């Protein structure tokens, strides 16, 4: 008896090179530099929307929250997203909460990240 495992299409935006290597080694993710946000990161015409996005809060040209908004606008739905930051200021936490985003703090704990990813991916879709 065989069981099929579905591979998640997870997009990772931002992060330092060591953080990207760690994420890729643990999860075998498709890791995109921050400058590849938008069309290059996800092409709506290709029909392969991300199942989940992991975004660093501090990006070069925008915040991770802005990036998540851009990806969601292109997708046409609220792609599950996790905002990750080392910034401990209350403003970042409030901004994430107001935007309905899950927030994890650096340094990342792989087990906590994996559990949150699983929870977000298996959460039932909201009724339309």
SS3 of residue 90 by DSSP: helix
| pLDDT recorded at residue 97 | 93
pTM above 0.95, yes or no: no
Structure confidence by residue, pLDDT tens digits, 83-120: 999 999 989 999 999 998 999 999 988 889 888 988 88
User: Helix %, strand %, coil % for the chain, to 5?
Assistant: 40, 20, 40
Structure confidence by residue, pLDDT tens digits, 33-86: 544 444 345 555 566 677 888 899 998 888 999 989 988 888 888 889 999 999
Is 15 within 8 Å of 60 (Cβ atoms)?
no
All structural domains of the chain: 10-122 (3.40.50.2300)
Element (DSSP H or E) covering residue 23: helix 17-27
Q: In the predicted model, what is the mean pLDDT of residues 6-27?
A: 75
């Amino acid at each position: 008896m065989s069981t099929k495992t579905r591979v998640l299409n997870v997009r990772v935006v931002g992060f330092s090179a060591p953080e990207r290597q760690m994420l890729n080694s643990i999860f075998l993710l498709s890791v995109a530099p921050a400058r590849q946000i938008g069309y290059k990161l996800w092409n709506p015409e290709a029909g392969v929307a991300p199942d989940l996005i992991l975004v660093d809060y501090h990006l070069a040209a925008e915040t991770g929250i802005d990036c998540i908004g851009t990806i969601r606008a292109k997708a046409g739905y609220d792609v599950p997203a996790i905002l990750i930051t080392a910034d401990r200021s209350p403003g970042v936490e409030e901004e994430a909460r107001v935007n309905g985003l899950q927030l994890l703090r650096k340094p990342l704990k792989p087990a906590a990240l994996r559990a949150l990813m699983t929870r977000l991916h298996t959460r039932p879709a909201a009724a339309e």
